[in-house]
Chains A and B, each alone.
Chain A
Amino acid sequence: EIVMTQSPATLSVSPGESATLSCRASESVSSNLAWYQQKPGQVPRLLIYGASSRATGVPARFSGSGSGTEFTLTISSLQSEDFAVYYCHQFGDWPQTFGQGTKVEIK
C-alpha cells in the first residue's frame, strides 16, 4: 500500500501567521490527493481535492499544491477556527490511505 507521511506532526503557529503542512506519498498518486480538517469532537471536513481545488465554502486562505509524491497545504493568516488536525488522503491507488495527521496548535 502507498504510505502517506505528513510533517511535521505538530505545528505551533501564532494567529495571523501562515502555516505550511507537508504530505509525502511513498509512490506517485498523480493529483489524486485530498486534505481534510478535523476539530476536536467533530467529523472531518473536506478542504482540498485533486491536490489543489478548494471544496465548496472553504476560505481562500487554504491552498493546496503538488503532484506525484510531494504535496503541500498552506494556510495563510491563520484564524482561531483553523487550529485543528489536518489529514491528507490519497485515492490514486488501492487501498486508499490517509496520512497520520498534522496538528496545528496555537503558539
Chain B
Amino acid sequence: QVQLVESGGGVVQPGRSLRLSCVASGFTFSRYGVHWVRQAPGKGLEWVAAIPYDAIGKYYGDSVKGRFIISRDNPKNTLYLQMNNLRAEDTAVYYCAKSGAYSASSFVDSWGQGTLVTVSS
C-alpha cells in the first residue's frame, strides 16, 4: 500500500531555514505528482506546493511563494520542501501527499502522517 513518511520537522527560529523530506513507497513514485499540504494547530488545510512526476513546473501557494522550494529525487523516491525565511505563521503540521495523477493538477489520494514545524524564538 502507499506509504509516505515525512521527516525534518522541528523547532526553528523566525528567519531561519528548514528542509522537509518525504520518502514514498508502495507505488511508482516517478509516475505521480506530489504535494505538500499544511495544517496549523486547530486550523484547516492549506495547500502549499506541488510538483508533477517529471519536475517540469513547480507550483506554490501565495503565502509561501518566493520562500519555499519544492523538489523531488525520483531515483530516491523522495520529495523535499526547502523552507526559507520562516515565519511564525508557517507553524503547522506539513503533510506529504500523493496526487491522483501524473500531473500535479489533481486531487490528493494518499497522505503521510505529517511532520510538525514550529517557528518560534
Q: Which residues of A pack against B, CB within 8 Å?
A: 1, 32, 34, 36, 38, 43-46, 49-50, 55, 85, 87, 89, 91-92, 94-101
Contact = CB atoms under 8 A, between A and B. Distances in A.
What DSSP secondary structure best describes chain A's contact surface?
loop
Given A43-B113, A95-B47, A98-B47, A89 B107 contact: yes
Contacts of A91: 105-107
What DSSP secondary structure best describes chain B's contact surface?
strand
B45 interface: yes
Contacts, number: 61
B20 interface: no
A43 B107 contact: no
Interface residues of B, number: 23
Interface in B12-67: 35, 37, 44-47, 50, 59-62
Interface of B: 35, 37, 44-47, 50, 59-62, 95, 100, 105-114
B61 A95 contact: yes
